[in-house]
């Protein structure tokens, strides 16, 4: 399998930066931790210490937490590293990575976890389908973080400082590798890697149709869909840069197995980009994918049957990071889940053509 070029890699962050307008009010929101925010200092603020300013804007975090975040280089002022004592003035731009929430706000739930790797700083899991990453409005239970809190209560290596920090997110029905930080320091250090473009991610997807090229780069800006807020779309007017490299691994009659490496991490990026080249992901009904039934695969008469796969056929296959404590470069891999493996077996049995060169 050929690797993809690394010239001028783009950020591998999963959410767009948020610009907060100049004001002094406390910032409230369903922050999951790991978000990159940019604050513009208001005109009424002069010579205020950075730590006091941030503590005033983020009342949910203690001043000690804010100071540790600054010390760990999770905050910059006007694009430069900052100290807690640095004085702020109007129009200064403060960039920060939001810390994870305190564990006391989270309810432990006995939800099975497929743990790939674990130590005192991080836990790497193979995320299952049909689970969201973090509690939010309308989804306060049954999330990955609820499962992590339950898991942490059973292991001796986790102390009072445990913060299940979601560093990057996968869509509800996307399976595969995810890394979670166990404390604030690990969280900020790994979040910074995503922001500084030093992580590497790759995915496997089963698409409708075969891409015309064996491999290519899709460079199309993405933004919120103009008509549906829960969707995203290619937006040349307001969209942010989004770059996806792909390589066709296997071709089938009417389908393909595609290896994808996103260079940016926009919401729904892979799903939208593959749909853009007329190869939507199987069962991704939001972006043009369809369910596939056994009778269709075998070219039989229509029958009442369960679909071969009932969720978006997208899997986070590999993730490469630098360990936040040891600085060791680490690569993790999650095998294909049973539903995608079954889909491939059916394709190889009934729709086999040839492998891509």
The number of folded domains in the chain is: 2
- The verdict on whether 95 is a catalytic residue reads no
Is 88 inside any structural domain?
yes
Write the CATH number for 38: 3.10.290.10
**Cβ atoms within 10 Å, residue 45:** 18
- Active-site residue, from 16, 51, 95, 171: 171
CA distance 103 to 159: 11
pLDDT over 70, % of the chain? 82
Boundary (domain end) residue, out of 68, 97, 126: 97
pLDDT digits (tens, 9 = 90+) for 269-317: 999 999 999 999 999 999 999 999 999 999 899 999 999 999 999 999 9
Is 321 inside any structural domain?
yes
pLDDT digits (tens, 9 = 90+) for 128-140: 998 888 666 556 6
CB-based contact 167:190 (threshold 8 Å): yes
Model pLDDT, residue 44: 81
What is the separation of C-alpha 305 from the centre of its chain, rounded to a whole number of angstroms? 33
Q: 131-145 burial, b if ≥16 CB within 10 A, otherwise e?
A: bbbbbeeeeeeebbb
CB-based contact 107:146 (threshold 8 Å): yes
Model pLDDT, residue 159: 43
Is 320 inside any structural domain?
yes
Domain residues for the domain of 75 are 18-97
Residues 84, 205, single domain; the answer is no
pLDDT digits (tens, 9 = 90+) for 253-263: 999 999 999 99
DSSP code of residue 225:
-
Higher pLDDT, 42 or 179: 179
Is 104 inside any structural domain?
no
Boundary (domain end) residue, out of 97, 116, 146: 97
H or E stretch at 146: helix 144-152
CA distance 5 to 68: 36
Please state at what angle helix 184-195 crosses helix 63-71, rounded to 10 degrees.
50
Model pLDDT, residue 141: 78
Q: Is 90 helix (H, G, I), strand (E, B) or coil?
A: coil
Residues 82, 208, single domain; the answer is no
Model pLDDT, residue 2: 44
Higher pLDDT, 291 or 19: 291
Residues 83, 206, single domain; the answer is no
Which range is least confidently modeled, 24-28, 117-121, 166-170, 329-333?
24-28
CB-based contact 318:177 (threshold 8 Å): yes
302 contact partners, CB below 8 Å, separation of at least 6? 295
Which residues share a beta bridge with 215? Answer: 247
Is 129 inside any structural domain?
no
**Cβ atoms within 10 Å, residue 10:** 16
Model pLDDT, residue 105: 61
Boundary (domain end) residue, out of 48, 76, 97: 97
pLDDT digits (tens, 9 = 90+) for 330-343: 999 999 999 999 99
Write the CATH number for 237: 3.30.2350.10
Question: Nearest CA to 314 among 266, 248, 259, 267?
Answer: 259
CB-based contact 262:201 (threshold 8 Å): yes
Which range is least confidently modeled, 57-61, 105-109, 228-232, 244-248?
105-109
* 30: pLDDT strictly greater than 80: no
Is 334 inside any structural domain?
yes
Read off the pLDDT band of 124 (50, 70, 90). very high
Model pLDDT, residue 102: 59
Is 168 inside any structural domain?
no
Residues 73, 211, single domain; the answer is no
- Tell me the CA end-to-end span of the chain in Å, nearest whole number: 10
CA distance 21 to 38: 9
């Amino acid at each position: 399998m050929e690797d993809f070029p690394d010239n001028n890699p783009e950020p591998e962050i999963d959410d767009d930066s948020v610009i907060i307008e100049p004001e002094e009010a406390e910032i409230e929101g369903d922050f999951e931790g790991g978000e990159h925010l940019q604050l513009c200092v208001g005109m009424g603020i002069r010579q205020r210490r950075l730590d006091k300013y941030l503590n005033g804007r983020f009342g949910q975090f203690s001043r000690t937490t804010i100071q540790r975040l600054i010390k760990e280089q999770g905050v910059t002022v006007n694009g430069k590293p900052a100290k807690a004592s640095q004085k702020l003035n109007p129009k200064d731009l403060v960039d920060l990575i939001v810390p994870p929430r305190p564990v006391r706000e989270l309810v432990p739930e006995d939800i099975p976890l497929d743990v790939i790797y674990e130590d005192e700083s991080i836990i790497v899991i193979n995320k299952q389908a049909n689970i969201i990453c973090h509690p939010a409005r309308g989804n306060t239970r049954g999330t990955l973080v609820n499962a992590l809190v339950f898991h942490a209560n059973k292991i001796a290596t986790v102390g009072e400082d445990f913060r299940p920090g979601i560093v990057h997110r996968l869509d509800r029905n996307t399976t595969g590798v995810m890394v979670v930080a166990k404390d604030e320091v690990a969280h900020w250090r790994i979040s910074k890697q995503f922001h500084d473009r030093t992580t590497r991610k790759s995915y496997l997807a089963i698409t409708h149709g075969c891409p015309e090229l064996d491999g290519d780069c899709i460079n199309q800006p993405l933004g919120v869909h103009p008509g549906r807020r829960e969707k995203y779309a290619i937006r040349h007017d307001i969209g942010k840069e989004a770059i996806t490299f792909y390589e066709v691994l296997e071709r089938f009659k009417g389908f393909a197995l595609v290896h994808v490496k996103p260079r940016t991490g926009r919401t729904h990026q892979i799903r939208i980009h593959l749909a853009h080249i007329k190869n939507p992901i199987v069962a991704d009904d939001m972006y043009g994918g369809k369910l596939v039934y056994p009778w269709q695969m075998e070219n039989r008469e229509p029958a009442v049957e369960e679909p071969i796969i009932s969720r978006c056929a997208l899997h986070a296959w590999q993730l490469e990071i630098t360990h936040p404590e040891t600085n060791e470069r680490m690569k993790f891999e999650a095998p294909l889940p049973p539903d995608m493996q079954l889909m491939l077996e059916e394709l190889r049995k009934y729709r086999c053509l040839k492998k891509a060169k």
